[in-house]
A = this chain, B = another copy of it.
Amino acid sequence: MINFSEYIRNIPDFPVKGIQFKDITTLLKEGDVFAAAVDQMYGPYKEEEINKIVGIESRGFIFGAAMAYKLNAGFIPVRKPGKLPAETLSEEYQLEYGTDSLEVHLDGIEAGDRVLVIDDLLATGGTAQATCTLVEKLGGQIVGLSFLIELTSLKGREKLSKYRVHSLIQYEI
């Protein structure tokens, strides 16, 4: 059994003073640990039919694309504004100061799609919630969400209470 937290590097004061940044690149560079993390992020959903993996820009692309490959599922990128070239649906979410938004291609999700949402980190849950809203507005069904890391004190899980949420590593910070 791999203790995934041993492969996460803590970087103090990144990107700004006071933040303890959880660096996942020390996990990614160990091939067997990365593969095991992808497998275990999928584990709780292995009885489910899933035909689309939605990955949130940009570290969510890393785990999401590997999982899509594993499942032979379609990979759907959710991106910051202006990055996706075709017609998009956009959803705002709250930042500490102000708002930001995420976009998905209108043809990325079809009615009846069974979707697993993937990102590296669950913090306040704002981006994950906006992503689920985008999927549902396009007729997709959220089977669940899976994260490598969850910062439990930020209570992102409460924002996602109507969904199944799984994380491999929890930090109380």
Name A residues whose Cβ lies closer than 8 Å to a Cβ of B.
9, 11, 14-15, 21, 23, 25-26, 28-32, 34-35, 38, 51-52, 55, 57-59, 61-63, 65-66, 68-77, 82, 84-86, 105, 107-108
Contact = CB atoms under 8 A, between A and B. Distances in A.
Contact of A71 (B31, B76, B105): B31
A18 to B, nearest CB: 14
Contact of A68 (B9, B26, B31, B86): B31
A31 B66 contact: no
Contacts of A63: 65
Question: What are the 9 A-B residue pairs with the smallest beta carbon separation, nearest first?
Answer: A66-B69, A29-B74, A11-B85, A62-B65, A61-B61, A14-B85, A58-B58, A28-B75, A31-B72
A61 B61 CA distance: 6
Contact of A23 (B9, B61, B62, B85): B85
Given A11-B85, A58-B57, A86-B23, A51 B65 contact: no
Contact of A69 (B23, B26, B38): B38
Given A25-B84, A25-B105, A31-B73, 13 more contacts: A14-B85, A23-B86, A25-B76, A31-B71, A32-B72, A34-B69, A35-B69, A58-B58, A62-B77, A63-B65, A65-B65, A66-B68, A69-B69
Contacts of A35: 68-69, 72
B70 A69 contact: yes
A173 B20 CA distance: 46
Contact of A21 (B21, B57, B85): B85
